Structures are given as structure tokens and as C-alpha cells.
Structure 1
Amino acid sequence: MATTYDSPLAPVPDGPLSPDERAALGKEARARVPRSAHAFFEPDQKRPDPLDIIERQSATRVPELIPVRYGRMLESPFRFYRGAAAIMASDLGAGPHTGLYAQLCGDAHLLNFRLLASPERHLVFDINDFDETLPGPFEWDVKRLAASLVIAGRANGFPVRQCATVVRAGVEAYRERMREFAGTPTLDVWYARDDFDQIAALLPERPGKQDERRATRAAAKARSRTSLQAAAKLTRVVDGTPRIVSDPPLITRLAELLPGAEGEDLARMLRTLVHDYRSSLSSERRHLLSRYHVVDMARKVVGVGSVGTRCWIILLLGRDDGDPLLLQAKEAGESVLAPYCGASPFQNQGERVVTGQRLMQAASDIFLGWEHVTGIDGRERDFYVRQLRDWKGIARPETMDPGTLGLFARLCGASLARAHARSGDPIAIAAYLGRRDTFDRALVRFAEAYADQNERDHRELADAVADGRVTARTDPAA
């Protein structure tokens, strides 16, 4: 049957493909890229200078924050990896791929999986970072996750064998969950989500008491991270009105960042952003947001790879001073995957982020939306908006022993498979992966090789700082 493609996500055949025909597509992909071929990573002489890639990103960011970004990436190989999604995209884009596309996170390292609140106020486990989301070969996300597990394991002093066991746990969970979705009705795939209370079902055996206690504490902490908690930590009452507390360079109130007329112009722009982005929300959520009004704004330094992008936190109040809502408006640029997967069909990069997030996440923030603005410098910029905090629980891999990291790897792998199955073809991907552990073992070797490369790139950054090519600045959050 002839098949043409008008989107990398979905084949458009002369007629509907049967499950057997979809499975055949997956098996055909093995001829292009055998599963064992994923084991190899060997940069050639034409590999771009990793620092050139990072510096090209820095060229469009807030200049005074670039040294903070380098300072955070300099701290450790794992921190460097978190900021090096563009480098890995370049490495993956230079090699062969399966051609089996799904909506990618684009930065699927282990710290971008966490506990989140669903709109129904259930605690769920899901991916949380979509700045680089774009359709692409499914294996690129799996490889980024696998390499992050080795890098985290090495940071904890785990020997090679234990790191390999952790990676195999994560990749095996991805493969097995994808096989499960291959036999699942379409709507059931779409409705699937990983509720905290059901997470144990994703693990091969019941977690030990220590892991159960750790999970319970993590859930309790996540549920405490609300707008009220964020407001209590980040604001104080000044002259009878709540104001954001400055903590430069991490958080700087707009009035302190740009006093005078320029600051007033920026404040008007941000108020307009909050007002106009409502058009990207559903009608009932627009109505909900209309119950709040803006009272203060500040610039916030976020993450590692995102440092230097324009990011604002905006304090709104509802019924009274005890009814706060903190929104985060973050600049969205072109995905690091775009040079290798093609440009996004969305002209607004904020819409690209939001659409990818809604496609991959089982349940997204009710205030998630996007807008396009003209900055006070006259430049056009895209933003996406979401709540600053909403029951978010962040993993701490540095506290995990090999067994616990292996359990967490399984959760990440299973969650990633669910996210990919919503947009890609789970039957084709599962057929490619197969029943045996060929792909799992290949990714262990890839992850080890890429972790080695990441360490070399990290050393290049350290050398560049030492010889003055770039300036690095430490900060309290590092």
C-alpha cells in the first residue's frame, strides 16, 4: 500500500493501515537502523565546537545573565549536560535515525520528570519541560534520558555495572510500556496517566519500605508547593500591598531592574501580555483568570540551559491579599531540534511549546498559554505562560542509591513511553523495539559513550573559563 507523509507524526495512507501494516513499518525501520546500531557514538572530525553551539544560543539572551549560565554549567558534568541540549541535538542530528516520529520533549533528562498537579488536583508523574519540544525520531528522547542516568550515576560514584543496570531499567520500562500501548485502544492511550497512587504498577516489584517513605515525603512536599506557599516565600507586604522580594540576580523586581520611564514601558508590556495571552486559553479559564489582577512583576533566572532567556514572574491577586496567583512568562525561541527535524509549523514559538506540552502531558496546567509581544527594544518575542508552582516535586538523584535510581529510571522510561504513544505510532515503535533486550543493551553502550563525550565537553568549558574565552559567575542557586 502506498503511503505519503504530510507530517512526521502521522502517515496518511491511501486507506487506514491495519495493525499488521503499522507493525511492518516498525520492522522495516530496523533495515535502516538496526537496533544494535544505537550502541555507537563516535564524534567525527566535523563535529561542531560545543562552545560555539552554546555561544550562539547566548547571543540572543540577556547579556548580564550569560556568565550565570556558564557558572551553573561549569559546576559539574551533570549540570553541564542540563544546559547542553543543543549540543546533543547536533550530535544526534548528524547520525542515522529510525524515521519513527513522535512529539519529543527535546530535553528528556531525568530531572525533567517530576510530580505535578492535574487540573482535578490529582498528583501525577510526568514530563515537565517542553522548551525544545518538536516532532522527531522517538529514540532521541530515550537516548537523552539514558545518558542522563549514566551521568547522574557517575556523579554518585556508582561503578560502571551499576550505571548500566540503571540505564537498562529505564529503557526496558520504555520498551515494555510501548508494547503495552501497542495493544491498547486509542482512547485508552490518550486517557492514560501516571497517578501517584498507581505508580507502583509501573515497577517490576513492590518498592522497599525506604523507597515508599521517600515517595510519601516527596508527595507531601509536592502538595505543599502551591501559589500560597510560593507567595509566602517570594513576597512580602509593603505599604499594605504584597510585593515580590528581590534576590538579585535570581529574582529582581521590575521596579529595581528598570526604574523610571523604561520600567513603566516594560510593565505595560507585561500587563498587556497577561491580558492578551488569555485568548490562548479556553473560555472557562479566561473567565477564571479575569478574577485576578496584576500587582507586581520581577525577572527570574531559571534552570541551567534556560539561563539568559527572558523570564518574568507576575504576581496577581484574586479576592484579596490572601488569594495570590503567581504566573511565569518565559521567552520561547526556536527548538534546538529544528535544524535537524525541520521548523515548527507554528509561527509563535510559545504556541509550539504549549501545543507540544498539551500533546505529551496527560494533564497540563490550567493557565498554560502563549502570546507574542513587542519588547521595549522593538524586538518581537514569543512567550509561554504557566503557573510558577503547582504541586511540583523535583527528584534529587544525588541522594539516591543504585536501587532507588533504577526505580526512578523505570518511572521515567514508562512515562516517556506514554508521552510518545499519544502522538507517535505505538504499534510501529513497539514493533521496532521488539520483545528482546537488543535496544536496551545498545543504549547502555550509547549512554556510556555519550557520558564520556559530555565530560570532555565539560572540560572544554572549564578550559575556556580558565583562559578567558568565556566568563563564568557562580550564584546562590548553583
Structure 2
Amino acid sequence: MTAPNSLTVFLSPAERAALGTGARAHAPRSSHGFFEAGRERFDPVEVIEGQSATRVPELVPIRYGRMLESPFRFYRGAASIMAADLGAVPNTGLRVQLCGDAHLLNFRLLASPERHLVFDINDFDETLPGPFEWDVKRLATSFAIAGRANGFSRKEQNVLVRTCARAYRERMREFAGMRTLDVWYAQDDADHLRALLASSMDKKARRRTARATAQARTRTHLQAFAKLTRSTPEGRRIAADPPLITPLRDLLADTTDNQQEKELQAVLEGYARTLPSERRHLLRHFRLVDMARKVVGVGSVGTRCWIVLLLGRDDDDPLLLQAKEAQPSVLSAQTGGDRYDNQGRRVVSGQRLIQTTSDIFLGWTHVVGLDGNERDFYVRQLRDWKGIARPETMDPGLLGLFARLCGSSLARAHARSGDPIAIAAYLGSGNRFDRALTEFAQSYADQNERDFEALAAAVRSGRVTAENL
């Protein structure tokens, strides 16, 4: 029997494990245990401003305002800063498809196409192949910063980080012993999560978990439809709430309705061509009626993000899509770039590789923007059974359970795209990597606070402008 690809080299499990342990020679596990910025470190505000240069100018102050709400919010928007820091130090060379922005709020409950709740990564704007530990470090550090925001003791913060790292390491060891297809089919559905955490949860935690699951099921496209649209003489339309939600009709007030309709249809047709044939058939049952620019997230503020309203049988049969601008990954400069000529396709390809079940309407397109510039976008449904964590409401025990879920889920994502045998061999069965990550997370949380203060100083001096909305 020939190999699926003539360039594929198949190694035995022992050879793959040897690659993992061999990586310790140039990147010892203890080397992950600290972060110290050199004297020649870049200006963090300059990095942020570099990203802002390609964004909608009037929205950039909103981004800075959101980042200055707290060090934790700053960290959410500072993936580009951390990518530059991680790229400057030796790495294991054990590559996976990285999420690229694996902070804890990018893990949540989602709906599978079979209408089951699953726990998975949700944001893939920065996805790109790279060393597995970059994602683990970003995730672990987010728990240290969240613990600080909640007023937890240093010991409690360290427990969160070790719990996350240990869950990743132990789950990866499980995948190392599994058959290839079993790794690919592995899924963290709601029942699996309850069984995983049952022995660790008290009654209060079980009630909160059940409530979070129930709430996620209510966050449907119909709820978003009721919140974001209104009835007009012309039919159902997206409600304006500028500058956070601005309908296209307001942005293009000097064009005719016919011109706007043609432009919207061109966007939809380009996107539809990236869907499988059966999904294109389903999409044809809906007609496009409205579109609006929406401000989203923290780090994404200022990128072009659109809500697209389509209607099926009647005005009570909606499909809401989100078309989000895809710019080059913040990891690109650290990994030598990527092979995609469309950044939307990069995001979609990475998401399909990492997630066990992706949105049925996930696709991409390339359009000419309102300013005449060509831009890439990826498209997905807006709000489909998404359960979002609220770490600020969690005590150390509950946030520790969430750290365990996130670490375990990240391992599953990495095992799909990387070599679980090599990674597990590198990590080993002891806690050396866990302890190293604890030291790294604390030192990088300190750096994050210094970078947060640098942005605050830039606002005070007038170098940049921040707006709270």
C-alpha cells in the first residue's frame, strides 16, 4: 500500500517520541519558566498603533478605551505584543495549528451542526501553524491575569496556571495512546464535560454549570434577531446604534438603494462560492435584506465587521451572518508568513482543522471596501448557542475548573493538527512543564501590566486617543 501523499514520511511511535524528547535539547522544559524583556524590546504602544493603521480610524479610540478598562482587557487586545515576545525566544519546533489568541475567553460552549452543545475554541483570527507552547503560554497567562483581576492570592493564581498546564499535559498523553481516527473524532460535548468535572464540583458549581448550559441554549440566532432588528415600512431591518452598529444604508447615504443591493449581492455571491454545494443550496432559500457595520470584541475593534440579515419564508424566518475582516495573523512575522492568498480562507482552514464541529455557514470572501481597498473576510453565523464564561464572577475553585476545561480542550485541538506522541514525550509525565509555566505566567502578567501602563501613559500624553463606549 502506498502512502496517501508521496512526500509523507511515516515514523514509528518510538521515533515520534524521540523527536519530542529530542526537542528538550534546544528548548528545555525549564526554559519556559520565565520571561524577561530585553533592553532592546519594542515599544508596545507602537505595535498596537501599527495594527490600528489599517483599521477604521473613527473606531480605533474605542479599541484603546476597551483595552484600558483593566490589565485583563488589555491582554485580550494585545495578542500582537505577546506574539512578538514569544517569537524572540527559542521554541520546541513541535508545530501545531495554533489558535494564535488562546486566552480563556476564547473558549466557550458552542452549537454543533447536530444541535449538541460542545466546549471548544471560538476565535481563530490569528490562527497559523507554530510551536504548540505559544498557545499554552497565552492561555496559562490569561488565568494568572484573571486571578489578579479577581483579587486572588499569588498562591491561588499559581494553582490556576498549574491546573491549566496539567490538564493540557495529561490530555495530550491520553491522545498519544489513541488511534488516529479516535483522536480526530474526540469531542468535548456537554455530557462529557459534566462527567469530566463531576468528581471535582460541589453542588454550587454543578448548579452554575447547569445554568450556563441552559443559558447557552437560549443564545440563538432568534434571540439576536429580536435584539438587533426592528420592523420598518420596508420590512425587517437592522436597528441602528452608532457607532457600535451602523447600517450600510447610513454609511452609503449618497448611493441609491439599487446600488447598495448590487454591492451586497456581490459580497454574498462571492462568499457562497466557498461553501459546499449543499450549503449553497440551503443559502439560496434566503434573500439578503440588510447589512450593518458592527464593533466587536476588544482586539478586533476597528477591523471591518458586518452583520448580514437574510430572510427565508417570511420576516420571522431569519439567518444572521457575521462577516469579519481577516488581516494577516499576528504570528505571521514570527513564523515566516503563511501560504494563503486570502486571509479569510486562512481563518476558515485553521478553524476547520482545530474545531471538532464548525459552523455550517463558515466561509470566506474577498471584496472591495467602501474606501476602494480590497479586503478579505470570513463569514459565520452570528450567535449560535454560545455560552460565554464570566471569570470575574468565579471563585478560585470554579475558575480552576474552567482552567482544567480550557487546558484539556486546547490539547484536543493541538492533537488534531500536530503530533500528540511527540508533544506528550516532550512534556513528560512529571510536573516540570507545569511548574515552568507558572513562573512564566506570573512574569508575563507583570509585563502585561507594564504594557497596560504604557498605553495609559500614551493616552494621557495625547499620543493616542481613547474613547469609552
What TM-score do you get using the length of structure 1 for normalisation? Answer: 0.95
- Is residue 282 from structure 1 mapped to residue 295 from structure 2 by the alignment? no
Q: How many Å separate the matches in 2 of 1:437 and 1:205?
A: 22
Q: Structure 2 vs 1, CA of residues 359 and 432 (structure 1 numbering), >3 Å: closer, same or farther?
A: same
- Moved segments of 4+, more than 4 Å: 10-13, 262-267
* Structure 2 letter corresponding to 1:233: K
User: Could you tell me which of 94, 97, 100 is aligned with 2:94?
Assistant: 100
Q: What is the distance in 1 between the residues matched to 2:40 and 2:238?
A: 48
* Match status 1:192 vs 2:186: yes
Amino acid aligned to 1:425: D
Match of 1:465 in 2: 459
Question: C-alpha distance in 2, partners of 1:236/1:266?
Answer: 20
- Residue aligned with 2:273, SS: helix
2:285 pairs with one of 277, 291, 306: 291
Shift of residue 266, structure 1, vs aligned partner: 5.5
- In the other structure, the counterpart of 2:450 is 456
- Find the aligned partners of 1:418 and 1:11 in 2 and give their Cα distance: 28
Which of 84, 91, 100 aligns to 2:78? It is 84
Matched residue, 1:125 = 119
Alignment partner, residue 247 of structure 1? 241
Contact 2:35 2:444 in 1 (8 A): yes
* Count of residues in Structure 1 that have an aligned counterpart in Structure 2: 465
Which moved further from structure 2: 155-164 or 341-350?
Answer: 341-350
Q: For 2:310, which of 300, 316, 332 is the aligned residue?
A: 316
Letter aligned with residue 425 of structure 2: A
3-state SS of 2:323 partner: strand
Q: Quote how far apart the aligned CAs of 1:170 are.
A: 0.6
Pairs within 5 Å for 1:52-201: 52-201=46-195
Indicate how the Cα distance of structure 1 residues 135 and 263 shifts in structure 2: closer, same or farther if over 3 A, else same.
farther
- 1:386 equivalent to 2:392? Answer no
Distance in 2 between the 1:266 and 1:344 partners?
Answer: 34
Q: Which amino acid aligns with 2:10?
A: P
Secondary structure in 1 matching 2:188: coil
Which of 399, 407, 417 matches 1:413? 407
Q: Distance in 2 between matches of 1:167 and 1:12?
A: 39
Does residue 258 (structure 1) correspond to residue 252 (structure 2)? The answer is: yes
Cα distance in 2 for residues equivalent to 1:279 and 1:375: 19
Q: How much has 1:212 moved relative to structure 2? A: 1.1
CA–CA distance in structure 1, aligned partners of residues 6 and 229 of structure 2? 50
Residue 100 of structure 1 deviates from its aligned partner by: 0.2
Give, in angstroms, the shift of residue 270 of structure 1: 3.0
CA contact (8 A) 1:349 1:382 kept: yes
SS at match of 1:102: strand
How far apart in 2 are the matches of 1:234 and 1:391? 16
Identity %: 69
- 1:329, 1:386 within 8 Å by CA — same for their partners in 2? yes
Say whether 1:227 aligns with 2:208: no
After superposition, the C-alpha distances for 1:337-359 in whole angstroms (9 at most, x for unaligned) are: 00011211111000000000000
Matches within 5 A, 1:293-308: 293-308=287-302
Shift of 1:206: 3.6
Q: Deviations over 1:258-277 (max 9, x none)?
A: 31228865653332111221
Gaps of 5+ in 1: 1-9
Structure 2 distance, partners of 1:136, 1:11, is 24
Report the Cα offset of residue 12 of structure 1: 5.7
Q: Is the Cα contact below 8 Å between 1:202 and 1:414 reproduced in 2?
A: no
CA positional deviation for 1:216? 1.1
Deviation at 1:205, TM superposition (A): 2.6
CA distance in 2, matches of 1:263, 1:89: 43
Task: Tell me which residue corresponds to 1:426.
Answer: 420
Counterpart residue type for residue 89 of structure 1: A
Partner of 2:391: 397
Counterpart residue identity of residue 331, structure 1: E
Displacement of 1:380 in angstroms is: 1.2
Root mean square deviation, CA, Å: 1.5
Find the aligned partners of 1:96 and 1:377 in 2 and give their Cα distance: 41
> In the superposition, relative to structure 1, how do residues 289 and 463 fare at CA in structure 2: closer, same or farther (>3 Å)?
same
8 Å Cα contact 2:249/2:260 also seen in 1: no
Q: How far apart are the structure 1 equivalents of 2:25 and 2:377?
A: 41
Matching of residue 40 in structure 1 with residue 34 in structure 2: yes
Q: CA deviation at 1:248?
A: 1.2
The amino acid that maps onto 1:43 is A
**Partner of 1:438 in structure 2?**
432
Instruction: Measure the CA separation in 1 of the matches of 2:70 and 2:423.
Output: 34
What CA distance in whole angstroms lies between the structure 1 residues aligned with 2:253 and 2:126? 33
- SS of the equivalent of 1:280 reads coil
Deviations along 1:356-381, whole A, 9 cap, x unmatched?
A: 00000010000000011122432111
User: Is the contact between residue 110 and residue 148 of structure 1 (CA under 8 Å) also seen in structure 2?
Assistant: yes
Other structure's SS at 1:347 match: coil
Distance 2:261 2:135 in 1: 38
- Is contact 1:133-1:353 (8 Å) kept? yes
2:98–2:130: 8 Å Cα contact kept in structure 1? yes
Q: Distance between the aligned counterparts of 1:467 and 1:308, measured in 2?
A: 22
Say if 1:259 and 1:114 are closer, same or farther in 2 by CA, change over 3 A. Answer: same
Partner of 2:44: 50
- Tell whether the 8 Å contact from 2:29 to 2:427 is kept in structure 1 after alignment: yes
Offset of 1:413 from its aligned partner?
A: 0.3
Q: Quick check: 1:353 aligned with 2:351?
A: no
Distance, in Å, in 2 between the alignment partners of 1:432 and 1:467 is 47
CA contact (8 A) 1:266 1:376 kept: no
For 2:195 and 2:6, how far apart are their aligned partners in 1? 32
> Residue 198 of structure 1 aligns to which amino acid in structure 2?
H
How far apart, in 1, do the equivalents of 2:443 and 2:256 lie? 50
Tell me, in whole angstroms, the C-alpha distance in 2 between the residues paired with 1:237 and 1:306.
30
* 1:226 aligned partner, one-letter code: T
